[in-house]
Structure 1
Amino acid sequence: MLRSVRWLGPIVVDVLLVVLFCVIGRRSHEEAILAGLLHTAWPFATGLAVGWVAAYLLSRRRPETEPFNGMRLRPTGLVIWSSTLVVGMALRVVSGQGTAVSFIIVAASVLALFLLGWRAAVRAIN
């Protein structure tokens, strides 16, 4: 059970928060939410997946210190957040979607609040 909490719970939370980020973005631009959600979300969802794989692989470099835990703020959350942002923006560029500087700043801030914020809250509670 504890292993699934370290994996499944944090993955579900991260996916839901990335989707929420995309829903908020579409709503703020008065775009159809459901009709274009996949179009908006796939770059960030891909970045999120890359971040999870990278965080796991980085943790395997020193497995004797502590088993992988997806709820950790550092380094797990930081790797996942930065990958979601950087890979997401890169995929938006190659797919012809917008990447204005103001959007990058907003995306970095909101994704940090979402992907790092819940981990910081869990850490503070524990």
Structure 2
Amino acid sequence: MLRPTFPPSRLLRPTPSPIFRQLLSTQPQHTQTPVQPPPEPQTQSKRSYPFVVGRSGANNFSVYQLAKRGGNLKLTLVKKVEGNRIAFKEELAKGLKLSAKDIKVSSLTGHVEVRGHRKSEIVAFLEEKGL
């Protein structure tokens, strides 16, 4: 004996994909209004530097404050400097109005050490230069 067949439930049928729904739609997809391109911002000619300061994964500069010797020696460490680190040291000294003795480049790690806690000044300097 044959069992009566019922149409499949609506829940068992696959739902149409969003692309298929767009094809079935009776509403116009695109309006024909002319779109004017935004005005081009005036670009300043950025100075090219022989060094680049990399950013961390969170898109922040790798600038850290350290305290050594029981907190008596305060340092600011700039990491991820690529290229001519000596030129970066000179540019940083000129930008922050520091003497050359206050900034040191570690030849082993490639980090730039600045005396004092100057993280906010260094980050502002790097953002101003567009590095």
* TM-score normalised by the chain length of structure 1: 0.28
- Larger gyration radius, structure 1 or structure 2: 2
Structure (1/2) with the larger strand percentage: 2
More helix by share: 1
TM-score (ref. length: structure 2): 0.27
